[in-house]
Amino acid sequence: MSINDNVRFTPQEKPVLILILLTYFMILLDSSIVFTSIPVMKADLGLSAAEMSWVQDAYTLAFGGALLLGAQLGEVWGRTRVFLGGLIVFAVASLIVGMASTAHILIAARALQGLGAAVVAPTSLTLITAVFHDTVKRTRATAAYGTMAGLGSSGGMLIGGLITTFLSWRFGFWINVPIAVVVLVLAVRFYLLYLHGRAGSTCWVRSC
């Protein structure tokens, strides 16, 4: 048994890691969930071929284009606050996507989703660096974070197909809202508990 095998996440660290991974999984889920629901969206809203492309691309373009800005906002205003703010934007946008009655509303809401995700993704990764100071723990947390990328992307098509088949394509986006609310509540609770366990920490109001 190596020394690394004896390294364990503390009770304060585990919930923080789980919430970060859950949030990252959720935003990646939405990048692929649309692929299985787009045919039903087309029939429901009467989307043209160009509009269908924009429903898919609006999220990806906004997400990729705003990643650097999201990371910079985290450095300036504090990672945790920006992380939670981005999560709120993502949840509100998901609600609007599910309620969309026209292609224009749907595309705009998808772009807003991408912006929220672009804020959440980089700040969640930097939160791992801020929380896990031990090299072994940080490596494990980062590896788990990377695993979520594959699970979220592939899982989106499976979950999207099931939800679209048995419920509605709208529920594929509405499901983000209760998840985001739970993450928001627990993130504040567990992250504050984590900070409380670090004597003299001012991470909440400064860089974290």
* Number of domain units in the chain: 1
Task: Report the CATH number that the domain containing residue 144 is assigned in CATH.
Answer: 1.20.1250.20
Quick one: what percent of the chain has pLDDT higher than 90? 7
Residue-level length of the chain: 208
CA pseudo-torsion sign 33, 34, 35, 41:
positive
Select the more confidently predicted residue: 105 or 128: 105
Chain segment 99-114, per-residue pLDDT in tens: 888 889 989 999 999 9
Return the sign of the alpha-carbon dihedral for residues 83, 86, 90, 95: positive
Q: What residues contact residue 21 under an 8 Å CB cut-off, 6+ apart?
A: 144, 145, 148
Q: 78 to each of 63, 81, 111, how far by Cα in Å? A: 20, 6, 24
**Within a domain: residue 33?**
yes
Domain assignment of residue 102, yes or no: yes
The pTM (predicted TM-score) of the whole model is 0.79
Residue 187, pLDDT > 90, answer no
The tens digit of pLDDT for each residue in 20-69 reads 888 888 887 777 777 777 888 888 888 888 888 898 888 889 888 888 88
* 202 assigned to some structural domain: no
What pLDDT score does 109 carry?
A: 92
